[in-house]
Amino acid sequence: MPNTISGFSKLSKSDKIEWLLDTYFNDKTNARALVKGYWNTDDKLQKLHDEFIENTITNYYLPLGVAPNFLINGSHYTIPMAIEESSVVAAASKAAKFWLERGGFKAEVLSTEKIGQVHFMFLGDFKKLQIFFNYVKPKLISETATITKSMERRGGGILDIELRDKSEDVPNYYQLHATFETMDAMGANFINTCLEQFATTLKYEASTYEAFDAKEKDITVIMSILSNYVPQCLVRAEVSCKIKELKSKDIPHPEEFAQKFKQAVSIAEIEPYRAVTHNKGIMNGIDAVVLATGNDFRAVEAGVHAYAAKEGTYSSLTHCTVENGVFRFWIEIPLALGTVGGLTSIHPLVKFALEMLQKPSARDLMQIVAVAGLAQNFGAVKSLTTTGIQEGHMKMHLMNILNQFEATEAEKTKLIEHFKTNVVTHSLVVEAIETLRK
Ligand code: MEV
């Protein structure tokens, strides 16, 4: 059986599965049962999921957990998190509780501007292009009127369009660099539709512009697309308290803890190898909430990491000061999120997550997500600079190891009890299972 196929997307779901089974699997019965075992018994719900993408064969589950006790700007939240990594939700919940008792998180949206670009080639004099751009700019705006109408009614729309000269980097390359306000929508479709209209108008108007010669009239549009780099769509979240108020069961010596914590953050600010891991921990929290709320975590990841490198060296997204007896820890990140449109109105669990968050605006969600990132980082750096990460991580990972060895409920109860007071390592867990089973 060849393992290439044409017309695959036109096959029925069952035929697609059968083709896969015939092509790649020895034990077809088991593989078929596995794939179909993940289908939802509610056909309508399954169809909804099938239609999110092309060639769906089944569902891929991630746990949806919740982290309660977040106090953000005086309001209480339970934060939904979709993630597979054992210790993330536990760490977020622990950090939330810690800061609940110390005034909670303060968060603030600093800006909400999004960006899109039309990249084009122009063979001619830049000064003439500038004059043409000034002439055509009102048309670029007016010809998107039908696209922008409802966004403008909601308070958003096109903020500005600039002409940018990039011809020193790539010969004949210029941009329309446009900024947008998309209110509660992430806005990708809105922005891309506007940009494609700008491109059409630009090309047509140039072709009929009298002052241009034949070469100048022939603008080549390379592409029109939003940017996931949104350094002007920024949110900041912060925690602070008197150093002595950090004292807790895990932090017996708050002054020493605060200094060590600050040093750990300073290291992540200057050392890219550490910064990447430090920020990965932040993204554990951010991605989990972004995913649970039906937003595009790839877009967020790309934009956040670009922001982390904005000074030319990859650096920490969080910062810390210990001054005048006060510990202060904050994050500043770009987040283009939506609470309307996209998956938010169709995925039942996304609707559930948004309702749990009290139907946030996009601005509210930016604050909640930034807080989740900050809390996650607080938890990670606190563990790293005190007990080390493995203690908590392995405790949470214990269940995965027990499941890997198909431990029964009775075995799990005994072993969880045993490892409450014993170090968890993979080999020690295996040893304990074997001893129990002897
Ligand atoms: C693991 O997923 C995340 C951490 O490595 C983050 C960090 O080191 O700060 C614990």
Distance from Cα 134 to the centre of ligand 1, integer Å: 50
The CATH code of domain 114-227 reads 3.30.70.420
Is the pLDDT confidence value at 1 over 60? no
What pTM was computed for the model? 0.93
User: Band of the pLDDT at 436, cuts 50, 70, 90?
Assistant: very high
Residue 128 CB less than 6 A away from ligand 1: no
pLDDT digits (tens, 9 = 90+) for 53-108: 999 999 999 999 999 999 999 999 999 999 999 899 999 999 999 999 999 999 99
Kindly state if the Cβ of 393 falls inside 6 Å of ligand 1. Answer: no
- Apex 184 CA angle, 182 and 188, nearest 5: 50
| Ligand 1 contacts CB of residue 284 (under 6 A) | yes
Lowest mean pLDDT among 132-141, 235-244, 356-365, 389-398: 389-398
Distance from chain centroid for Cα 48: 23
Is the distance from CB of 424 to CB of 388 less than 8 angstroms?
no
Range of weakest confidence among 172-176, 277-281, 397-401: 397-401
pLDDT, tens only, 247-276: 999 999 999 999 999 999 999 999 999 999
Q: Specify whether 296 is catalytic.
A: yes
Q: Which of 383, 389, 395 to mutate to test the pocket of ligand 1 (most atoms within 8 A of CB)?
A: 389
Catalytic choice (85, 143, 271, 332) = 85
Find the range with the poorest average confidence among 23-27, 46-50, 199-203, 397-401.
397-401
Measured in angstroms, how far is the CA atom of residue 86 from the centroid of ligand 1? 12
Q: Is-catalytic flag, 418? A: no
Ligand 1: which residue has its CA nearest to atom 9? 278
- Using the mean position of ligand 1's atoms as its centre, give its distance from the Cα of residue 166 in Å: 39
Q: Does the beta carbon of 282 lie inside 6 Å of ligand 1?
A: no
Structure tokens at 239: 């925690």
Q: Where are the domains of the chain?
A: 8-50, 65-109+235-387, 114-227, 393-437
Indicate the average pLDDT of the chain. Answer: 96
Mutation to probe ligand 1, out of 85, 88, 284, 383 (largest number of atoms < 8 A from CB)? 284
| Catalytic option among 137, 280, 351, 418 | 280
pLDDT digits (tens, 9 = 90+) for 336-362: 999 999 889 899 999 999 999 999 999
The Cα 133–Cα 83 span in angstroms is 47
Q: What is the pLDDT of residues 163-222, one digit of tens each?
A: 999 999 999 999 999 999 999 999 999 999 999 999 999 999 999 999 999 999 999 999
Q: 160 an active-site residue?
A: no
Residue 82, pLDDT score: 98
Question: Is 85 a catalytic site residue?
Answer: yes
**Average of per-residue pLDDT across 20-27:** 97
Q: Does ligand 1 come within 6 angstroms of the Cβ of 278?
A: yes
- The per-residue pLDDT for 2 is 63
Count of C-beta atoms within a 10 Å radius of residue 414: 15
Tens-digit pLDDT profile for residues 118-176 = 999 999 999 999 999 999 999 999 999 999 999 999 999 999 999 999 999 999 999 99
pLDDT for the residue 223: 98
Instruction: Give CA–CA dist 304/244, Å, rounded.
Output: 33
Residue 368 has pLDDT above 60, yes or no: yes
Q: What is the pLDDT of residue 198?
A: 98
Q: What is the amino acid identity at position 221?
A: V
pLDDT digits (tens, 9 = 90+) for 286-338: 999 999 999 999 999 999 999 999 999 999 999 999 999 999 999 999 999 99
Residue 139 exposed, middle or buried by CB count within 10 Å (0-12, 13-18, 19+): middle
pLDDT category at 421 given cuts 50, 70, 90 is confident
Put the strands of the sheet holding 157-165 in their side by side order.
Answer: 157-165, 173-181, 113-121, 220-227
Euclidean distance between the first and the last CA atom of the chain, given in angstroms as a whole number: 47
CATH for the 65-109+235-387 domain, from 3.40.50.150, 3.30.2040.10, 3.30.750.24, 3.90.770.10: 3.90.770.10
pLDDT at 391 over 90: no
Judge if the beta carbon of residue 389 lies within 6 A of ligand 1: yes
Cα 31 from Cα 178, distance rounded (Å)? 49
- The answer to whether the CB of 280 is under 6 A from ligand 1 is yes
In short, whether 332's Cβ falls inside 6 Å of ligand 1 is no
Judged by DSSP in three states, 239 sits in: strand
